[in-house]
Amino acid sequence: MSETPADNVVRTYIDTHRDAFLEDLAEWLRIPSVSAQPEHADDVRRSAEWLAAHLAKTGFPVAEVWETPGAPAVFAEWPSDDPGAPTVLVYGHHDVQPAELADGWHTEPFEPVVKDGRMYARGAADDKGQVFFHTLGVRAHLAATGAEAPAVHLKLLVEGEEESGSAHFRALVEREAARLAADVVIVSDTGMWSETTPTVCTGMRGVADCEIDLHGPDQDIHSGAFGGAVPNPATVAARLVAALHDADEKVAIPGFYDNVAELTDEERQLIAELPFDEDEWLRTAKSHAAAGEKGYSTLERVWARPTAEVNGIGGGYQGPGGKTIVPASAHLKLSFRLVSGQDPYEIEAAVRDWVAAHVPDGIRHSLVFGAPTRPCLTPLGHPALRSVVRAMERAFGQKVRFTREGGSGPAADLQDVLGAPVLFLGISVPSDGWHAPNEKVELDLLLKGVETAAHLWTDLAAHWRPAA
């Protein structure tokens, strides 16, 4: 990993443009593009239009807002002058999780604040920051090569519904498959092991989520007059949640594990070699105990094992004081993390059967699944993965290791539809607070991401000529 003139050009270019880059990112982060909340639909559109304009300004000859039946995506393309160069599709998303000051934010979630080398804002790490390092990245790449166009055929697809289940993403990819065609997909929506241990992610869990409504009495009724003699939908909701797991914390839904790709001994060994400190991990998780499926380590549980989780539960009176009622209804939001081998639609069918079998007489239920996200694994022998590792090692100046991610993204849909392998290039760290209050991005790491992207296109073009 000796320094080259290109390394210096890239670093100097980044230093020179750092302030403007961060100002532009802050401007984008001010747009509250919360895709799960209908009242923010206009903001999600504004975010897409802002990004398309910014990509055009960056130099992409093509930069378009792509409509979907839901929130719009952004597509940009910058062909290489070398027709035989690989075609790379970078994936990210411009929508963000819901955020309210009252959730525990120290500053307004949509008013970015830079403090102690970090930028705090909803979307700073997940995923606007990570989309954004590719904009300065390609400019730094051009500064290093001296060319007018990147060394690879570069495409960007930045969707607007990732945080609400990517309901229309697969259809969009199918519709635009010809323009999206690529030799490899690089997903920038993941993280690294830590600030000091750069890693490449090689797999993500999928997710299937559902809402279950349970209706008992036609209205709230007096728990003195009727309690103890009619079914209570809040009790039924709680019993469903309690029945999700067995005594070993395995998911108790019949068929749930049928096609799970079990960890190999080698995979378990690679995971065990990482410098994992459970106390530190718990601090990052803001949690006070490790718990989960018997027979697996914490990292195995979050990276390679499927789960059933209750994200929300509600029923009856939740205001101040008491109210002695049997509630009319109760509601559950459940999500299931899936691993390689599990088909989301088979899981959905298994959950539907299981719920129907657990709801007693006198309780009506409805169950709605969102669009699922499939699990995926990167082919470890792919030449593009070696390029990603080398580019990161140049930027970070140290050995890069391998991880997985417990989270989910629509990467598997890209792999399915486009027939291209999926790699992961992310610079976020566990303390960034994805989906949580006070989300932030480490500015040093964000600029290492810029540097990695600048090197990656050169390395890929130099080492890989995909078969035509």
Considering just the CA atoms, what is the radius of gyration of the chain in Å? 23
Q: Compute the distance between CA of residue 84 and CA of residue 67 in angstroms, rounded to an integer.
A: 31
Pairing of strands 113-115, 118-120: antiparallel
Among 177, 242, 349, 356, binds a second copy (CB under 8 A): 242
Residues near 325 by Cβ (< 8 Å), separated by ≥ 6? 220, 221, 222, 223, 316, 317
Among 5, 19, 38, 381, binds a second copy (CB under 8 A): 38
For a second copy, the binding residues in 277-306 under the rule CB under 8 A are: 282, 285-293, 298, 301-302, 305-306
Omega within 30 of 0 (cis) for the link into 95: no
For a second copy, the binding residues in 428-467 under the rule CB under 8 A are: 430, 434-437
For a second copy, the binding residues in 201-240 under the rule CB under 8 A are: 205, 207, 209, 211, 216-232, 234-235, 237-240
Pairing of strands 118-120, 440-442: antiparallel
Nearest to 186 by CA among 451, 465, 421, 416: 421
- Would you say 30 or 281 has its CB closer to a second copy? 281
For a second copy, the binding residues in 392-431 under the rule CB under 8 A are: 405-408, 430
Residues near 277 by Cβ (< 8 Å), separated by ≥ 6? none
Tokens of 45: 């559109």
Q: Compute the distance between CA of residue 429 and CA of residue 222 in angstroms, rounded to an integer.
A: 50
- Would you say 188 or 335 has its CB closer to a second copy? 335
Q: Is 358 in the site for a second copy (CB under 8 A)?
A: no
> How many amino acids of this chain bind a second copy (CB under 8 A)?
98
Q: Nearest approach, Cβ of 67 to a second copy (angstroms)?
A: 20
Pairing of strands 153-159, 329-338: unpaired
Where does this chain touch a second copy (CB under 8 A) — which range of 69-77, 269-277, 325-333, 441-449?
325-333
Strand partners, 369: 210
Nearest to 98 by CA among 44, 21, 171, 173: 44
Q: Nearest approach, Cβ of 152 to a second copy (angstroms)?
A: 30
Where does this chain touch a second copy (CB under 8 A) — which range of 10-18, 36-44, 59-67, 127-135?
36-44
For a second copy, the binding residues in 148-177 under the rule CB under 8 A are: 164-165
For a second copy, the binding residues in 102-131 under the rule CB under 8 A are: 103-104
- Would you say 61 or 362 has its CB closer to a second copy? 362
Among 64, 108, 195, 309, binds a second copy (CB under 8 A): 309
Q: Nearest approach, Cβ of 37 to a second copy (angstroms)?
A: 6
Q: Is 364 in the site for a second copy (CB under 8 A)?
A: yes
Nearest to 169 by CA among 197, 189, 194, 196: 189
Q: Compute the distance between CA of residue 189 and CA of residue 134 in angstroms, rounded to an integer.
A: 12
Nearest to 297 by CA among 271, 319, 317, 320: 271
Q: Nearest approach, Cβ of 418 to a second copy (angstroms)?
A: 23
Q: Nearest approach, Cβ of 303 to a second copy (angstroms)?
A: 9
Q: Is 267 in the site for a second copy (CB under 8 A)?
A: no
Helix or strand or coil: residue 8?
helix
Q: Nearest approach, Cβ of 176 to a second copy (angstroms)?
A: 25
Number of other residues whose CB lies within 10 A of the CB of residue 173: 22
For a second copy, the binding residues in 333-352 under the rule CB under 8 A are: 333, 335, 337
Half-sphere exposure of 397 (CA within 13 A, CB side): 9
Binding to a second copy by CB under 8 A, coded x per residue (else -) over 61-100, reads ------------------------------------xx--
- Would you say 291 or 380 has its CB closer to a second copy? 291
